[in-house]
Each structure stands twice: as structure tokens, then as C-alpha cells.
């Protein structure tokens, strides 16, 4: 590791735990806003941060070990003695670590996340659904199980997932998936038993499957200022392609940034009811049967595709710096540029989206309103470019071998006519119905 030089003030420094796409997107925001690099702490240089000129990498074998982490932070203090630090987690387990141990950080270290009680209220899925129920925010029909009570009464197929993501995230076992789709009672019982047998002890969520392809999914990124607890930013991305791999479902690979008025009131109600501050990321889906969006979860952090917010004109780093470093009032953002963000090559993206969405995608390319943020023009290292080329090619393989949840359901329900149904889906999907509704 080496201290990277900034051309501007060394008043503050972003320190990020983990090296995923979200970490790089946040580092990119700091670089573009303040012309200075960020520190990333991880066990090795993952692809998104590999040979990056905007990242100062600190190697730590076990980032979840708080004592090791504090030693690394001491070293960063020695390397950057003049800077006040903002420390971030790039996924749930890192954020929970910071929230749990915030009292152990030195005075110059700012932890831009809510206190533990509020964090649990909004991020533990069972508590989140209870809050939705109390204030009238739509969410899928849900049963909450534990190791002693594994019974539920929902129609199949159902989704099974842990209520406490960080507790589950650190487990390693054969057959592990981020979420499980189950088509009958026996399969659900087997998956529930598998999860509990391999060390998870928290609550499980069993939830109705909401029909709809990737283009019915949405990501909402919101910012509430710590200073006055007012909503300052609400940014919506209509997902085009979701990551289909079992360990990464829910991570958007491509999307279109636009306004979606139908979700705004629900977001405001949830944030106001929870006394939340900082960045929150919501996962939503348009439910054609209900003719409304349902809310799946709230993450008390920026998501893996957070750079879409910065690319559309609202740099996420500025919110953190103004609120936590300078303690200034933040003006509410009321505008955002419609853009398309993607990590997929253009031909693959056009192949993956529904027929009615392709002209939209082509329009963004024709207008030059597309961001592939991992391919930033200032990243010129040959080894990085080689990695990004290999990564782009790997997405073709990933999309071939791993069907989306919707395709899995279609194959299971109508195996003999799947090809016909897939063609029909590509021309008349819930996403197309939603697009038609939005254009009315």
C-alpha cells in the first residue's frame, strides 16, 4: 500500500470496507467530487478495485475482525494524519460491524450510519415488514419462521430468505443461495432445514413469489440528513437486468434512472416512521396482480449499483461530506438526469431486455447517456483493462448458465411450452404492461 496524493484539500478521507462494485462506485464519487482517492480495506484486490488509480488499497486478511480492523485504522491515521475520516461498509456485514463498534473508533473517525436500534428496526426483514404493516406500505404476503416454528400457509411458489442478512452472509456451506425459490412443501422444508443445519439461528422469511421479469424490479436510493432528519434525495432506477447467480440475486447489472411517483410516498413514510438518517436503499417490485409496487427490504447503506445516483447528477459523496464533515444544511435535490447504467456489454444487454425495452436502450446509447462506471476513462492500467474485458465476456457465460427467478418459475410451471412462453414473455411481459402504464 502507498499513500496516494490528492490535488486538493486533505481535510477528509473516505475509508471503505470491502472491494465490491459498490465500494468502487463510492470511491468514484469521491474522486469525481473532490479529486482525491479513497482507501479500501479488503483481504485482496477484487476486480472492481484492481489497479485503480483512485483507490489506496490496505490489505487485511480478516476485515470482520474488529481488533485487526482497529490496527489497520491506526496505520491509516499515521499515513493520513491530517484528514478526518469517513468510514463506510460496502455490504451489510461491514455496516453492521461499524454500527456495533462505533464507540471504539477514534475521534476523527465518522461512522455515517444510524444507531443500532434504528438500524435493526429497518434492516431486519421481520421488523421492516412489521413497520410496513403499521404505516400501510405494501409488501408481499409473508410468514416469519424460526428454528422452533417452521410452519407457514402460503401458496407456492414461495421465496425463502434469512431475516438477518449479516448473520447469514458469513456462513459457508454447500447449496447456499442468497434466496431460495421453492415450488412445494417438501422443497421448502428441505431448504429451511439446510439453512438451520449450517449455523443460521435467526428468523427466516417465507414470502409469496411476485410474478414479473427483471424489468419489474426497482431500486430506490434515498438520503435523509442527520442534521435535520429531512429527506434530501430520492432516486429511482428501473432495473433492466438483475444478477441471476445464486449468490448475487438482487444486484442490478443494468437499469434506467427515471422518476417513479408511485413509490415516493411509501419511501417518505418509512423513513419518517423510523427516525432514519444517511443513505438507504430499497428493493421494490411492481406487482401486476395488485397494480402497485411492493417493498422487499431496506438496506441501511448504499447499494452495489449506487453509482447510478452520481451519474444522474447527484454525487453521493457530497451528501456525506456536507452532512458529516462540514455539518451544513443540505438542499433537497429535485432533479436527476435520465440515464442508463450497465456493467453488461451492449449486445448482451440488448439481448437480455424485453422486446419493448430495446428501443429505449438504443435511444440512451444514441444520446450518449450511458455509463459503464467500471470503465472510467481515467482508469488506464493495462491489467485492469484486461480484467474488465474478461469480466464482460464472463457475463455472457453467466446469463447462459443461470436463468432469472422468473424463468425458473416459467420452466417449472410449463416445461413443455417454455420456449413459446419465453417468446411471448419477451413481447408481452409485466414489464411491458408497466411501461405502458407509465406512458399513459
Count the neighbouring beta carbons within 10 Å of the beta carbon of residue 367. 11
Q: How confident is the model at residue 77 (pLDDT cuts 50, 70, 90)?
A: very high
Whether 229 and 167 map to the same domain: the answer is no
- Residues 93/166, Cβ–Cβ less than 8 Å: yes
Q: How confident is the model at residue 426 (pLDDT cuts 50, 70, 90)?
A: very low
d(CA 248, CA 22): 13
d(CA 306, CA 301): 10
Q: How confident is the model at residue 418 (pLDDT cuts 50, 70, 90)?
A: very low
**Beta-bridge partner residues of 84:** 12
- Local structure of 434: helix, strand or coil: helix
Strands 12-17 and 84-89: parallel
Whether 131 maps to a domain, the answer reads no
Whether 380 maps to a domain, the answer reads no
Which CATH number do you get for residue 156? Answer: 3.30.1490.20
Query: Residue 211's pLDDT is what?
Result: 96
Whether 382 maps to a domain, the answer reads no
Which range among 34-48, 61-75, 327-341, 424-438 shows the weakest confidence by mean pLDDT?
A: 424-438
**Beta-bridge partner residues of 284:** 218, 295
Q: How confident is the model at residue 98 (pLDDT cuts 50, 70, 90)?
A: very high
Strands 204-208 and 109-110: unpaired
Instruction: Locate the DSSP E strands across 172-270.
Output: 180-182, 204-208, 217-224, 231-242, 252-257
Whether 271 and 233 map to the same domain: the answer is yes
Whether 185 and 252 map to the same domain: the answer is no
Q: Domain count of the chain?
A: 3
Work out the average pLDDT over 146-157: 94
Last residue of a domain, one of 183, 208, 233: 208
**Beta-bridge partner residues of 237:** 219, 257
Q: Is the pLDDT of residue 7 over 50?
A: no
HSE-CB for 300 with a 13 A CA cutoff = 32
Q: How confident is the model at residue 419 (pLDDT cuts 50, 70, 90)?
A: very low
Last residue of a domain, one of 152, 182, 208: 208
Whether 310 and 196 map to the same domain: the answer is no
Count the neighbouring beta carbons within 10 Å of the beta carbon of residue 359. 9
Q: Is the pLDDT of residue 439 over 80?
A: no
**Average pLDDT over all residues of the chain:** 92
Query: Residue 412's pLDDT is what?
Result: 83
Last residue of a domain, one of 61, 91, 111: 111
- Residue the block writes with cell 435535520: 228
Q: How far is CA 108 from CA 13, 62, 65, 75, 429, in A?
A: 10, 23, 21, 14, 52
What is the maximum span of the chain, computed from C-alpha positions, in angstroms? 66
pLDDT digits (tens, 9 = 90+) for 235-262: 999 999 999 999 999 999 999 999 999 9
Q: Is the pLDDT of residue 118 over 60?
A: yes
Whether 290 and 189 map to the same domain: the answer is no
d(CA 135, CA 137): 6
Per-residue burial over 60-82, b if 16 or more Cβ lie within 10 Å, else e, is: beebbeeeebeebbeebeebbee
d(CA 150, CA 156): 16
Whether 203 and 218 map to the same domain: the answer is no
Query: Residue 410's pLDDT is what?
Result: 86
Which CATH number do you get for residue 27? Answer: 3.40.50.720
Q: DSSP states of 13-29 as a string? A: EEEEES-SHHHHHHHHH
Q: How confident is the model at residue 434 (pLDDT cuts 50, 70, 90)?
A: low
Q: At CA 76, angle to CA 75 and CA 82, rounded to 5?
A: 120
Q: Which of 143, 147, 126, 124 is nearest to 197 (CA)?
A: 147
- 275's torsion region: left (phi>0), alpha (psi -120 to 50) or beta? left
Which range among 5-19, 53-67, 168-182, 343-357 shows the weakest confidence by mean pLDDT?
A: 5-19
Q: How confident is the model at residue 109 (pLDDT cuts 50, 70, 90)?
A: very high
Whether 308 and 227 map to the same domain: the answer is yes
**CA dihedral (48, 50, 53, 57) positive or negative:** positive
d(CA 52, CA 379): 6
What is the residue range of 303's domain?
Answer: 214-371+403-438
Higher pLDDT pick, 324 / 423: 324
Whether 103 and 192 map to the same domain: the answer is no
Higher pLDDT pick, 432 / 78: 78
d(CA 284, CA 138): 10
Work out the average pLDDT over 361-383: 97
Whether 133 maps to a domain, the answer reads no
Query: Residue 433's pLDDT is what?
Result: 53
H helices of 142-228, in order, are 165-169, 185-197
Higher pLDDT pick, 279 / 7: 279
Instruction: Locate the DSSP E strands across 28-162.
Output: 38-42, 55-59, 84-89, 109-110, 142-145, 158-162
Q: What are phi and psi of 52, to 5 degrees?
A: -90, 140
Amino acid at each position: 500500500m502507498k499513500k496516494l496524493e490528492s490535488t486538493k484539500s486533505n481535510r477528509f478521507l473516505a475509508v471503505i470496507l470491502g472491494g465490491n462494485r459498490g465500494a468502487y462506485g463510492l470511491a468514484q464519487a469521491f474522486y469525481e467530487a473532490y479529486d482525491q482517492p479513497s482507501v479500501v480495506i479488503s483481504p485482496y484486490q477484487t476486480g472492481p478495485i484492481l489497479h485503480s488509480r483512485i483507490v489506496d488499497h490496505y490489505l487485511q486478511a480478516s476485515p470482520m475482525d474488529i481488533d485487526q480492523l482497529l490496527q489497520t485504522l491506526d496505520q491509516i491515521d499515521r499515513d493520513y494524519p491530517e484528514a478526518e475520516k469517513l468510514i463506510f461498509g460496502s455490504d451489510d456485514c461491514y455496516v453492521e460491524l461499524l454500527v456495533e463498534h462505533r464507540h471504539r473508533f477514534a475521534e476523527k473517525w465518522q461512522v455515517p450510519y444510524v444507531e443500532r436500534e434504528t438500524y435493526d428496526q429497518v434492516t431486519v426483514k421481520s421488523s421492516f415488514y412489521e413497520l410496513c404493516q403499521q404505516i400501510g406500505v405494501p409488501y408481499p404476503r409473508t410468514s416469519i419462521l424460526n428454528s422452533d416454528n417452521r410452519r407457514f400457509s402460503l401458496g407456492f411458489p414461495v421465496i425463502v430468505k434469512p431475516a438477518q442478512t449479516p448473520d447469514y452472509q458469513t456462513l459457508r456451506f454447500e447449496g447456499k443461495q442468497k434466496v431460495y425459490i421453492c415450488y412445494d412443501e417438501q422443497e421448502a422444508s428441505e431448504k429451511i432445514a439446510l439453512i438451520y443445519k449450517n449455523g443460521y439461528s435467526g428468523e427466516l422469511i417465507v414470502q409469496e413469489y411476485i410474478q414479473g421479469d427483471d424489468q419489474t424490479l426497482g431500486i430506490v436510493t434515498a438520503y435523509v440528513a442527520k442534521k435535520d432528519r429531512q429527506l434530501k434525495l430520492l432516486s429511482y432506477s428501473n432495473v433492466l437486468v438483475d444478477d441471476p447467480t445464486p449468490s448475487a440475486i438482487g444486484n442490478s447489472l443494468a437499469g434506467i434512472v427515471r422518476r417513479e411517483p408511485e413509490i415516493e410516498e411509501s419511501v417518505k413514510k418509512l423513513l419518517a416512521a423510523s427516525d432514519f438518517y444517511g443513505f438507504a436503499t430499497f428493493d421494490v417490485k411492481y406487482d401486476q396482480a395488485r397494480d402497485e409496487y411492493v417493498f422487499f427490504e431496506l438496506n441501511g447503506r448504499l447499494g452495489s449499483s449506487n453509482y447510478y445516483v452520481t451519474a444522474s447528477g447527484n454525487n453521493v459523496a457530497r451528501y456525506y461530506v456536507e452532512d458529516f464533515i462540514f455539518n451544513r444544511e443540505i438542499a433537497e435535490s429535485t432533479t436527476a438526469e435520465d440515464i442508463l447504467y450497465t456493467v453488461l456489454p451492449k449486445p448482451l444487454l440488448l439481448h437480455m431486455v424485453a422486446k419493448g425495452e430495446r428501443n429505449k436502450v438504443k435511444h440512451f446509447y444514441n444520446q450518449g447517456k450511458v455509463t459503464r462506471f467500471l470503465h472510467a476513462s481515467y482508469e488506464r492500467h493495462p491489467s485492469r483493462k484486461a480484467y474488465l474485458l474478461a469480466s464482460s465476456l464472463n457475463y455472457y457465460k453467466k446469463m447462459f448458465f443461470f436463468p432469472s427467478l422468473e424463468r425458473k418459475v416459467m420452466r417449472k410451471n410449463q416445461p413443455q411450452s417454455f420456449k413459446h412462453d419465453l417468446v411471448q414473455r419477451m413481447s408481452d411481459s409485466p414489464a411491458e404492461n408497466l411501461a405502458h402504464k407509465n406512458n399513459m
